[in-house]
Amino acid sequence: MGAWAFEPLNGHRKSMPESATVSDKQFALVPGKGGALYVYLTGNIDVQSASLLIDKLPPLIEKHTPRRLTVDLDAVQHFDDFGALLLFHLKHLMSGLKGHFQLHAVPPHVAEVLTMVDFAGHKKCRFPQKNRPLNFLVRLGGAIIDDAANIRFSLSFLGDILISLVHICRHPRSLRWDDSIFHMENSGVAALPIVGLISFLLGLIMAFVSSLQLRQFGAGIYVAALVALAMVSELGPIITAIIFSGRSGSAFAAEIATMQISEEIDALHTMGFDPVRFLALPRVTASLVMVPVLTLFSDLFAIAGGLMVGTLMLDLTASAYISKTLATLTLFDTLWGMFKSVVFAFLISWVGCLRGFQARGGPSAVGRAATSSVVTSIFLIILFDSIFAVIRSTW
């Protein structure tokens, strides 16, 4: 019995039914002499009953303000750690009332549970408080250190990719072509329907909105020029890049992050593979090839959308619309759009792979990597597009 075997109850047990002031199916309270109070527990004190008893018993005991509480467990049948929790609460209650707590007639099976949960040594649980918010300067310093480490890792990763790209240009066979083609199919060919549909609708909307104004001046034919120029030099590369970052950049981040947290990347490293060349290069190469191709398709679908509005709403002939489109576009515009799309492709694939490699922790790190890759990619796309706009305007 050890720590919970205490003094006899001096006949109180026999007089329990008569003198019980409060009784229930599972407990009875019997006041004794000199501020003593006896609690008799019966039946199953377990997961089914303990929560009710934890609610009921303490207020009843508090009413008596006992100096000494004795809990008799002789008639207890099934007892589990929820029962131990009840006893623990009564013990804690008595320590709050500056009274004495004791157990009596502890059956062996109850004693075993109490030993298992270390009832004698158990203290009121105090989970460590949530960390207090740190001082502003400490937080600022921490953020600067984290950001510096992040920038350092990002630049180092960028360097790794650029060196690997140069290596591939010199040794094309070192590229994992199977993986690259797989990613070209997965992130390029499979993205064609959604890129095509969105670009078609975008071209349609642009033509429709601009036609409302231009038609008033009899300049409906310029809808073709507007759609072609806006799409090929600006919107085509941007919209394709945004779709690609949401669809494929996030997938790159999630795939690599999953590999990172499941130690697959460590395994590659220990097998003598360079994880950047093994995982990042095929994705970067696939993106560099497929994003410009998707951009080209995006331009074509948008022009088709404009053509639909031109022929159905502006009474233009298809040949007139196409002639105006071709006359407006220059080779430079098209190549400029392609160049931008190559830069965007590099940014998206770099950021996607980077966020994947940076992932640490559990499964939530995968979600964080995917989200962060999309947000960072879109920011970089817009930032670089602004830079390109400035360059072109000052050219």
Point out which residues bind another protein (CB under 8 A): 46-47, 51, 54, 78-82, 84-85, 88-89, 109, 112-113, 116-118, 122, 124-125, 127-128, 261, 361-365
Question: Smallest distance from the beta carbon of 112 to another protein, in angstroms?
Answer: 4
Question: Smallest distance from the beta carbon of 47 to another protein, in angstroms?
Answer: 4
Question: Smallest distance from the beta carbon of 115 to another protein, in angstroms?
Answer: 8
Q: Output 111 or 232, the one with its CB closest to another protein.
A: 111
Long-range contact pairs involving 57-64 (C-beta distance under 8 Å, separation at least 24): 57/27, 57/86, 57/90, 58/89, 58/90, 58/93, 60/22, 60/29, 61/29, 61/37, 61/90, 61/93, 62/93, 62/97, 64/29, 64/31, 64/37
Q: How crowded is residue 107: how many other Cβ atoms within 10 Å of its Cβ?
A: 14
Q: Output 54 or 313, the one with its CB closest to another protein.
A: 54
Q: Output 85 or 347, the one with its CB closest to another protein.
A: 85
- Short-list 275, 248, 263, CA closest to 161: 275
Q: What angle do CA 342, 345, 348 make, to 5 degrees?
A: 150
Question: Smallest distance from the beta carbon of 22 to another protein, in angstroms?
Answer: 21
Q: Output 255 or 299, the one with its CB closest to another protein.
A: 255
Question: Smallest distance from the beta carbon of 51 to another protein, in angstroms?
Answer: 5
Question: Smallest distance from the beta carbon of 178 to another protein, in angstroms?
Answer: 28
Q: How crowded is residue 184: how many other Cβ atoms within 10 Å of its Cβ?
A: 19
In the chain, which residue ranges form alpha helices assigned H by DSSP?
A: 16-19, 50-64, 81-96, 108-116, 136-170, 177-183, 192-214, 222-230, 236-244, 250-261, 264-270, 275, 281-313, 318-328, 331-358, 364-394
Q: Output 53 or 161, the one with its CB closest to another protein.
A: 53
Q: Output 108 or 218, the one with its CB closest to another protein.
A: 108
DSSP state of 99: -
Question: Smallest distance from the beta carbon of 365 to another protein, in angstroms?
Answer: 8
Question: Smallest distance from the beta carbon of 316 to another protein, in angstroms?
Answer: 57
How far apart are alpha carbons 45 and 8 in whole angstroms? Answer: 22
Q: What six digits make up the tokens of 322?
A: 């196409």
Q: Output 46 or 74, the one with its CB closest to another protein.
A: 46
Q: Output 127 or 217, the one with its CB closest to another protein.
A: 127
How far apart are alpha carbons 238 and 133 in whole angstroms? Answer: 41
Q: How crowded is residue 360: how many other Cβ atoms within 10 Å of its Cβ?
A: 11
- Maximum pairwise Cα distance, the chain: 112
Three-state secondary-structure class, residue 199:
helix
Question: Smallest distance from the beta carbon of 56 to another protein, in angstroms?
Answer: 12
Q: Output 109 or 269, the one with its CB closest to another protein.
A: 109
Q: Torsion-angle region of residue 180: left (phi > 0), alpha (psi -120 to 50) or beta?
A: alpha
